[in-house]
Amino acid sequence: MQKTFFALLMGVGLIAGAQAACLTQAQVQTMADDYFAKKPTPNFAAQSDKDAACTRARFNKLLAAHYGKVVGYKAGLTNPATQKRFNTSQPTWGVLYDGMIQPNGFSTVPNFGARPLFEADMLVRVKDAGINNARTPEEVMQHIDQVIPFIELPDLIVEAPPKLNGAAINAINVGARLGVAGTPMPVPADRMDRFVMLAQLANMQIKVADQTGKQIGAGKGSDILEHPLNAVVWLTQALHKEHLRMKPGDLISLGSFSALMPPKPGLSVTVSYEGLAGAQPVTVHFK
């Protein structure tokens, strides 16, 4: 009797702790169909990090068939505030495809996705393959050639975004949909000038303003993993685990400096980077 009762308790525990496996090809196809239709897709059961990565890989094959070549990667959940929102303590990553990156001043409808949002972000461009061995922000600076103001326009795609956790964010390719890139800033060739830029990146104040100049969001460089280039350090190691490497020309999105906010008709958003010498504001318009 005791053995039977103990076995029953163990079975209940296993069921309670069970997680869904990698989504099937049919489930991922439904998710992709909804993504392209800009229709909220059903939430799926909790997954392990491994199964979420499997789901993302299947989803990304369908995105690649539509969008074309990979142009870079995005580090997600690099800000403690966004980690808290999605009940995780670690970053995650997704893939950026051709056509996702739009020019400064880009205009779009507010419902550009199923669950559209915007956030202050930043891109860096990979100069050479040495970046894959970078383990500090200083080393990252040696292997990038541009720093680019960026407003990301992510899409959380599911019917109930508040139920997403870190693994689920990974499974949906970190909500990659669109982004607006500003004027690139060259990374200085001189070592001392690079150290100046490095310090400015950590200390810069990011301001998000609407078309009237009213501030609607803010952040600072160190909000991303204590230094924004630590997102690149983390990402190189995460990609290595899946046998991927950054290539010259890849664009790397560092993550959110500001809160995720919903777009509204008639809203124009400008992000500025105070304290980063030479940084020009970047703007997106919602029709």
The answer to whether the beta carbons of residues 143 and 128 sit under 8 Å apart is: yes
> Does some domain include residue 193?
yes
DSSP three-state, residue 23:
coil
Taking only the tens place, the pLDDT of each residue in 126-182 is 999 999 999 999 999 999 999 999 999 999 999 999 999 999 999 999 999 999 999
In a domain, 12, yes or no: no
pTM: 0.92
Give how far the C-alpha of residue 66 lies from the chain's centroid of Cα atoms, to the nearest Å. 20
Domain of 51?
22-203+219-262
Residue 96 has what pLDDT? 98
3-state secondary structure of 162: helix
In a domain, 268, yes or no: no
Find the distance separating the first CA and the last CA of the chain, reported in whole Å.
69
Contacts (Cβ under 8 Å, ≥6 apart) of 146: 123, 124, 125, 184, 185, 186, 187
Instruction: Report residue 92 as tokens.
Output: 């995650």
In a domain, 41, yes or no: yes
Give the model's pLDDT for residue 19.
55
Read off the tokens for 118.
Answer: 């915007």
Q: Is residue 42 part of a domain?
A: yes
pLDDT at 271: 98
The domain that contains 82 carries what CATH number?
3.90.850.10
> Is 191 within the bounds of a domain?
yes
Q: What six digits make up the tokens of 232?
A: 């690149």
- 60: nearest Cα among 93, 82, 86: 93
Residue 65 lies in a domain: yes
User: 116, 138 in Cβ contact below 8 A?
Assistant: no
CA neighbor of 148 nearest in space, from 182, 117, 118? 182
- Asked if the structure places residue 141 within a domain, the reply is yes
Q: What is the pLDDT of residues 176-235, one digit of tens each?
A: 999 999 999 999 999 999 999 999 999 999 999 999 999 999 999 999 999 999 999 999
Query: What is the total count of domains within the chain?
Result: 1
Render pLDDT for 86-141 as a digit per residue (tens, 0 to 9).
999 999 999 999 999 999 999 999 999 999 999 999 999 999 999 999 999 999 99
Q: What is the DSSP letter of 45?
A: -
